[in-house]
Chains A and B, each alone.
Chain A
Amino acid sequence: MSAGWQDYRCDGAYDELFEAPGWPRPAAQSLWAYLQARTPQELAERRLAAQLAIKTMGVTFTVCAEGRNLDRAWPFDIIPRVIPRREWEATARGLRQRATALNHFIQDIYGAQRIVKDKVLPAQVLAESANFRPQCAGVTPRGGVWAHICGSDLVRDADGTLYVLEDNLRVPSGVSYMLENRMVIKRVWPELFETTPILPVDDYPAQLYDLLAALSPRAGEPPTLALLTPGSYNSAYFEHVYLAQQMGLELVEGADLFVGDDDGVYLRTVYGPRRVDVIYRRIDDLFLDPEAFRPDSVLGCPGLLRAWMRGKVALVNAPGAGVADDKVVYAYVPAMIKYYLGEDPILPNVPTFLCLDEKQRAHVLANLDKLVVKPANESGGYGMLIGPRASRAEREEFGARIRAQPRNYIAQPTLSLSTAPTVTDEGIEPRHLDLRPFILSRGDGVYVTTGGLTRVAMVRNSLVVNSSQGGGSKDTWVVDADDAVARAESPGIRAA
Chain B
Amino acid sequence: MSIKDELEQIVEKKNVRDAAEDLVRYSRDLSLNPPGMPEVIVRPETSQQVAAVVRWAGTNNVPVVPVSSSTHFHGCTIPKQGGVILDMVNMNRILEIDEYNRKVCIEAGVTWRQLTEELDKRDMRVIMPLLPHPERSVLTDWLEREVPTNTVYDYGEPMQSLEVVWPTGEIFRAGSASVNGYPDSKSKGTNPSGPGLDFYRFVQGAQGTMGVVTWTNLKIESKPKIDNILFAAIDDLGRAQDFLYRILPRRIGQEVVLLNNVDLATILTDKWPDDFEKLRAALPAWTLIIVISGLLRRPEEKVAYEMEFLGEVMRNEFKDIALTDNLPGFPGIGKKLLSLLRKPWPKEVYWKNQWKGAAHSLFFIAKPSATPLYKSIVEEIAAAYGYALEGLGMYIQPIEHNRACHMEFNFFYDPECASEKALIKSLSCEAAKELLNSGAFFTRPYGDLAAINYERAGGYASALKRIKKLFDPNNIMNPGNLCF
Partners in one complex: no
Interface residues of chain A, those whose CB is within 8 Å of chain B, are: none
Interface residues of chain B, those whose CB is within 8 Å of chain A, are: none
